[in-house]
């Protein structure tokens, strides 16, 4: 059978094959990026996860059999090459490999559905249809290497600060929370829905005594939105902590993002360079602006907005132009916030709620939560929801629920900021939007 590894194993990645090891024999494995057959000499560029390396086969130095095998290569096939490293000033990273033995591990079909070398650009729709090929481009995989570092730092940060990682159900019974549309599914003989948020579950966890929890997981929203910053399946980074309020949790979020920015600068310099992206400044405390101040700013920019309204797209842009960078938008009107958000004690038309913005993009929403059963029921009723639909949630508030606060961050939107992407689809491997359900 062709294409098996047998006793072949990769000895070096492309980036580890440097002039310092000239003279050594190595085994390279990867994809055929380019083939340049000049007749008497053949150049093949092999690409792996770390970069590219050149195979050089001069007809005077290598067997005719090797030349034949190289000519059988097709672009994007998976191959393994054993050969000797040779210093070569003219080659891509200062070295080339003179091949001694070759294996084709899997031949690629032709023509390719898109061009991974990007000589001819492809549209995002074409790219997503062949996402595995698209990801072979270093400026695409760089986004996901940065996103991975982001999750790594966030997990480290939570663990170091005493948060327990939890998993809550994504199959839920209730469609009574109001707000966003849910995806209905069939759950045996019952109707069920895909979870829009872990909100109610992480609050119930506050009644468990575990104090501080976080979850990184998928959320589903059945809205027919069609924008560069909405998807129907997204990843949410959710945190909830007992004996803390909105101010405390803004501090947690602020510190977390400072860590994320620092770690990506430190560990993803190469990816940032590939993307030509500079991370935003993030040190110390982000500015805070109240909702009342924001309304004034927005109106002063000539964008009409009444007190009590949510921000329109134009309002977000006007505010983003003035504020710039990361900033917290605080002290929202209670009426446009969900039932579980704590009103101010002295003026209940305001809520202990905040959004974290980056320019005109909303990254996070958070709040001090209502922990008193009676107030919670009252707020549910005020929003024309039925408390009966919240039975198992409300039960947790009857037997010792501590004061608590929390937030949720859109992980894919945060990735847009960290990678300089204009389209959220760029930041999700296999995005789910209004029209796309495959791959």
Nearby residues of 409 by Cβ (< 8 Å), 6 or more positions away: 236, 237, 238, 253, 356, 363, 364
Q: Is 251 in the site for RNA (CB under 7 A)?
A: no
Q: Is 202 in the site for RNA (CB under 7 A)?
A: no
Distance in Å from the first CA to the final CA of the chain: 30
Of 150-158, 195-203, 258-266, 274-282: span binding RNA (CB under 7 A) = 195-203
Strands (E), 308-403: 326-330, 353-358, 361-368
Instruction: Restricting to residues 347-376, name those near RNA by CB under 7 A.
Output: 365
Structure tokens at 94: 């200062």
Angle at 149 (CA atoms; ends 147, 151), nearest 5 degrees? 70
Among residues 68, 223, 278, 304, which is the contact residue for RNA, using CB under 7 A? 223
Closer CB to RNA, 153 or 365, in the complex: 365
Closer CB to RNA, 201 or 328, in the complex: 201
With contact defined as beta carbons under 8 Å apart, do 6 and 13 qualify?
no
Q: Chain-centre distance of CA 47, in angstroms?
A: 25
Q: Is 122 in the site for RNA (CB under 7 A)?
A: yes
Structure tokens at 284: 């110390």
Nearby residues of 337 by Cβ (< 8 Å), 6 or more positions away: 351, 353, 367
Among residues 225, 251, 349, 378, which is the contact residue for RNA, using CB under 7 A? 225
Sheet containing 190-194: give its strands across.
171-172, 190-194, 184-187
Please report how the helices 246-267 and 138-160 are oriented relative to each other, as an axis angle in degrees rounded to 10: 140
**Which 8-state DSSP code applies to residue 369?**
B
Q: Is 413 in the site for RNA (CB under 7 A)?
A: no
* Per-residue contact flags (x/-) with RNA for residues 81 to 120, judged by CB under 7 A: -------x-xxx---x-------------xxxxxx---xx
Q: Is 203 in the site for RNA (CB under 7 A)?
A: no
Residues 405, 242: Cα–Cα separation, whole Å: 7
Instruction: Restricting to residues 392-411, name those near RNA by CB under 7 A.
Output: none
What is the maximum span of the chain, computed from C-alpha positions, in angstroms?
A: 88
Q: How many residues bind RNA (CB under 7 A)?
A: 63
Closer CB to RNA, 36 or 251, in the complex: 36
Residues 125, 404: Cα–Cα separation, whole Å: 43
Sheet containing 233-242: give its strands across.
164-165, 212-220, 233-242, 404-410, 361-368, 353-358, 326-330, 288-290
With contact defined as beta carbons under 8 Å apart, do 292 and 307 qualify?
yes
With contact defined as beta carbons under 8 Å apart, do 363 and 417 qualify?
yes
Closer CB to RNA, 383 or 395, in the complex: 383
Q: Is 228 in the site for RNA (CB under 7 A)?
A: yes
* Least spacing, CB of residue 255 vs RNA, in Å: 23
Of 193-201, 249-257, 266-274, 391-399: span binding RNA (CB under 7 A) = 193-201
* DSSP-based three-state secondary structure for 325: coil
* Least spacing, CB of residue 128 vs RNA, in Å: 8
Q: Is 226 in the site for RNA (CB under 7 A)?
A: yes
Q: Is 436 in the site for RNA (CB under 7 A)?
A: yes
Residues 283, 52: Cα–Cα separation, whole Å: 36
Closer CB to RNA, 89 or 284, in the complex: 89
Closer CB to RNA, 252 or 367, in the complex: 367
Closer CB to RNA, 97 or 272, in the complex: 97
Residues 346, 331: Cα–Cα separation, whole Å: 13
Residues 329, 292: Cα–Cα separation, whole Å: 10
* Least spacing, CB of residue 10 vs RNA, in Å: 22
Among residues 224, 278, 285, 348, which is the contact residue for RNA, using CB under 7 A? 224
Among 248, 224, 220, residue whose Cα is nearest residue 236: 220
Closer CB to RNA, 96 or 271, in the complex: 96
Instruction: Restricting to residues 302-331, name those near RNA by CB under 7 A.
Output: 310, 312-314, 317
Q: Is 300 in the site for RNA (CB under 7 A)?
A: no
Closer CB to RNA, 6 or 110, in the complex: 110
Instruction: Restricting to residues 30-69, name those near RNA by CB under 7 A.
Output: 34, 36-41, 43, 54, 56, 58-60
Contact residues for RNA, defined by CB under 7 A = 34, 36-41, 43, 54, 56, 58-60, 74-75, 88, 90-92, 96, 110-115, 119-126, 177-180, 196-197, 199, 221, 223-228, 230, 310, 312-314, 317, 336-338, 365, 383, 422-423, 435-436
């Amino acid at each position: 059978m062709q294409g098996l590894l047998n006793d072949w194993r990769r000895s070096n990645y492309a980036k580890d094959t440097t002039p310092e090891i000239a003279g050594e024999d190595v085994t390279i494995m990867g994809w055929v990026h380019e083939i340049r057959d000049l007749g008497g000499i053949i150049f093949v560029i092999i690409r792996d996860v770390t970069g590219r390396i050149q195979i050089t086969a001069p007809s005077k130095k290598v067997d005719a059999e090797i030349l034949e095998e190289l000519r059988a290569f097709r672009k994007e096939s998976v191959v393994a090459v054993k050969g000797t490293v040779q210093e070569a000033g003219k080659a891509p990273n200062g070295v080339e490999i003179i091949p001694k033995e070759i294996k084709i591990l899997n031949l690629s079909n032709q023509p390719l559905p898109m061009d991974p070398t990007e000589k001819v650009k492809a549209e995002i729709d074409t790219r997503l249809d062949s996402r595995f090929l698209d990801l072979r481009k270093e400026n695409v995989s760089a986004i996901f290497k940065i996103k991975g570092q982001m999750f790594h730092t966030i997990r480290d940060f939570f663990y170091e600060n005493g948060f327990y990682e939890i998993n809550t159900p994504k199959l839920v019974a209730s469609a009574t929370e109001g707000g966003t549309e849910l995806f209905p599914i069939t759950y045996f003989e019952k109707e069920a829905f895909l979870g829009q948020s872990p909100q109610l579950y992480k609050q119930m966890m506050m009644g468990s005594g575990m104090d501080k929890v976080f979850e990184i997981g998928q959320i589903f929203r059945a809205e027919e939105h069609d924008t560069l910053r909405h998807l129907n399946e997204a990843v949410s980074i959710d945190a909830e902590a007992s004996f803390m309020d909105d101010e405390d949790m803004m501090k947690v979020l602020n510190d977390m993002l400072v860590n994320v920015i620092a770690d990506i600068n430190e560990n993803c310099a190469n990816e940032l360079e590939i993307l030509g992206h500079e991370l935003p400044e993030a040190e110390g405390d982000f500015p805070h602006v109240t909702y009342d101040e924001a309304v004034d700013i927005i109106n002063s920019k000539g964008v009409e907005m009444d007190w009590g309204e949510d921000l329109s797209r134009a309002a977000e842009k006007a505010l983003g132009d003035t504020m710039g960078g990361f900033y917290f938008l605080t002290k929202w009107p209670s009426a446009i916030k969900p039932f579980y958000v704590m009103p101010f004690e002295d003026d209940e038309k305001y809520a202990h709620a905040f959004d974290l913005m980056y320019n005109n993009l909303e990254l996070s929403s958070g709040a001090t939560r209502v922990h008193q059963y009676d107030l919670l029921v009252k707020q549910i009723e005020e929003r024309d929801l039925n408390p009966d639909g919240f039975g198992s949630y409300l039960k947790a508030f009857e037997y010792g629920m501590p004061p608590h606060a929390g937030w949720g961050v859109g992980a894919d939107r945060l990735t847009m900021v960290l990678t300089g992407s204009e389209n959220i689809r760029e930041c999700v491997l296999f995005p789910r939007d209004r029209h796309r359900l495959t791959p």
